[in-house]
A and B are shown apart, each in its own frame.
Chain A
Amino acid sequence: GAVVSQHPSWVICKSGTSVKIECRSLDFQATTMFWYRQFPKQSLMLMATSNEGSKATYEQGVEKDKFLINHASLTLSTLTVTSAHPEDSSFYICSARPGEVEQFFGPGTRLTVL
């Protein structure tokens, strides 16, 4: 149990385009989902906390107009990177929390912006 999927697993796009990443909890409902970004050889950096049916809470320094988060249902959250630039190239990981504590991670999406 407690499986989280992400789609796509990797994506290459041109600078200036937008990319949508989906995060789904497959066998549980998650009122809270998290979006992380991880640059090479660095730890996870929390970007935003997504609560179903409400606006996401963004961490300091993360542009909410650039990283659009939608948590439309208890099993799906999406992250859209708008007007992507090469510096947005990173490993994006979502996690879902069915209760208060443990988070279950998706497999990650590797974004490369040319």
Chain B
Amino acid sequence: GQNIDQPTEMTATEGAIVQINCTYQTSGFNGLFWYQQHAGEAPTFLSYNVLDGLEEKGRFSSFLSRSKGYSYLLLKELQMKDSASYLCAFVDSNYQLIWGAGTKLIIKP
């Protein structure tokens, strides 16, 4: 079967670093996405990993280990505007997106 799991909620302090983990199980895999979603808005693209390793993009980095079925999103120098839900989703063998439930990130001053 397929499943994907990420923490429901995390809290971090402005200026700090936070890592949001995502684990998944699937027989067919064509990459993993991270999206950011602010309340009442549609998701916006953050990253896409299809090969193992770390992809860095400014303050945000995403890591993938296909053998472990594991990914994380790393946010550095947290800003208040980073308060949002972060959704991980993998692409299955049918090129469908399988979504996690999202991690609500709360940034405190």
Q: Tell whether A pairs with B.
A: yes
- Separation of A93 and B35 alpha carbons in the complex (Å): 14
* Residue pair A43, B87 in contact (C-beta under 8 Å): yes
Which DSSP category, helix, strand, loop or mixed, fits chain B's interface?
A: loop
Count: A-B pairs, CB below 8 Å: 40
Interface residues on A, range: 10 to 19
- Separation of A70 and B6 alpha carbons in the complex (Å): 34
Give A52 Cβ to nearest chain B Cβ, in Å: 16
What A residues does B91 contact at CB under 8 A? 101
* Residue pair B43, A105 in contact (C-beta under 8 Å): yes
What B residues does A105 contact at CB under 8 A? 42-44
Contact with A along B17-41 (1 / 0, CB 8 A): 0000000000000110100000011
5 contacting pairs across A/B (C-beta < 8 A): A43-B101, A44-B99, A104-B45, A107-B42, A110-B40
Contact surface of A with B, Cβ cutoff 8 Å: 34, 42-44, 46, 49, 91, 93, 97, 100-108, 110
